[in-house]
C-alpha cells in the first residue's frame, strides 16, 4: 500500500534542511538544464492539503473544454485537436475527447483511438521541416477533462532535448505565430488524409 499523505511528507523531509528545502534534483546538473546549478535552491516542501482542491471541470456542467468541443484545427466525431498560441517552441498542440472523459474513465474504444491518434499526430508533427521530435505529455492535475500535449522540439537545439523542453518553452520568446499556424494546418491536413475527420470552419487563432 502506498504511503499516506502524512507518511509521504514525513519521509520526504528526512532529507530536507531546516527550512524544509530538499536537495537540488540531479536534473539541474544535466547539460540540458535551462538553469545554472550554482545559486539554485529548492522551494520549501509544504505539508499535504486534504481534501485536494477540485480540478477545473470536475462537474461537466462547468467544464470549459466541453463548452469548446467545436473549437480547434481538426475534428472527428470523438476528438478535437487545437493549437496552443503564444508558445516558444515551434508548435504545441493539444488533443481532447469531445465528450467529458478523463484518462482513467475513457471507454476502451476511445482508448484505442487515442493510441492511434497520438501516434499519427506525433508522426505528422515530426514530418514538418526543422522539427526533430514530438514530445507527448499527459498530466491532468489542472483539469478533469482529458487533454494530451504535443510539443515540437526544434531541430538542432541540443539543450532542448528531453524532459526540460516545457521549461525551455516557457523561457523562449514567442515563436512566429504565422509559421506555427501554417505548420498546425499541415498537421491537420495530414491527419485528415490518414485518419479522416475535418478541419475547423473557422481559422485557428493567429497568436
Q: Is the pLDDT of residue 203 over 50?
A: no
pLDDT (average), residues 81-110? 97
Alpha-carbon Rg of the chain, whole angstroms? 20
76: containing domain: 60-199
Other CB atoms within a 10 A radius of the CB of residue 121 amount to 25
| Structural domain count of the chain | 2
Q: Long-range contacts: 65-73, Cβ < 8 Å, 24+?
A: 65/96, 65/100, 65/143, 65/145, 65/147, 66/99, 66/100, 66/145, 69/96, 69/98, 69/99, 71/200, 71/202, 72/96, 72/200, 72/204, 73/184, 73/185, 73/187, 73/188, 73/199, 73/200, 73/204
Q: Is residue 206 part of a domain?
A: no
For residues 67 and 163, membership in a common domain is answered with yes
For residues 38 and 122, membership in a common domain is answered with no
Q: Is the pLDDT of residue 154 over 90?
A: yes
Average pLDDT, the chain: 94
Percent with pLDDT over 90 in the chain: 93
For residues 145 and 77, membership in a common domain is answered with yes
For residues 25 and 92, membership in a common domain is answered with no
pLDDT (average), residues 145-167? 96
For residues 27 and 124, membership in a common domain is answered with no
For residues 48 and 112, membership in a common domain is answered with no
For residues 112 and 141, membership in a common domain is answered with yes
The pLDDT, as a whole number, for residue 37 is 87
Per-residue pLDDT tens over the stretch 58-92: 999 999 999 999 999 999 999 999 999 999 999 99
Q: Is the pLDDT of residue 202 over 60?
A: no
Residue 186: give its domain's CATH number: 3.30.428.10
The pTM is what? 0.91
Q: Is the pLDDT of residue 204 over 80?
A: no
Amino acid at each position: 500500500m502506498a504511503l499516506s499523505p502524512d507518511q509521504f511528507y514525513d519521509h520526504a523531509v528526512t532529507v530536507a534542511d531546516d527550512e524544509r528545502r530538499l536537495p537540488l534534483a540531479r536534473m539541474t546538473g544535466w547539460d540540458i538544464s535551462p538553469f545554472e546549478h550554482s545559486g539554485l535552491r529548492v522551494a520549501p516542501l509544504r505539508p499535504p492539503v486534504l481534501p485536494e482542491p477540485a480540478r477545473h471541470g470536475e462537474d461537466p456542467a462547468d467544464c470549459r473544454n466541453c463548452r469548446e468541443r467545436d473549437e480547434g484545427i481538426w475534428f472527428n466525431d470523438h476528438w478535437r485537436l487545437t493549437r496552443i498560441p503564444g508558445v516558444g517552441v515551434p508548435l504545441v498542440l493539444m488533443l481532447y475527447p469531445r465528450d467529458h472523459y478523463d484518462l482513467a474513465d475513457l471507454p476502451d474504444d476511445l482508448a484505442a483511438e487515442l493510441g492511434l491518434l497520438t501516434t499519427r499526430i506525433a508522426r505528422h508533427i515530426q514530418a514538418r521541416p526543422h522539427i526533430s521530435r514530438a514530445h507527448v505529455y499527459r498530466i491532468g492535475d489542472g483539469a478533469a477533462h482529458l487533454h494530451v500535449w504535443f510539443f515540437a522540439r526544434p531541430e538542432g537545439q541540443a539543450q532542448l532535448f528531453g524532459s526540460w523542453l516545457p521549461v525551455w518553452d516557457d523561457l523562449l520568446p514567442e515563436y512566429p505565430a504565422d509559421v506555427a499556424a501554417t505548420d498546425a494546418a499541415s498537421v491537420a491536413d495530414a491527419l485528415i488524409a490518414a485518419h479522416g475527420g475535418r478541419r475547423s470552419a473557422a481559422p485557428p487563432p493567429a497568436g
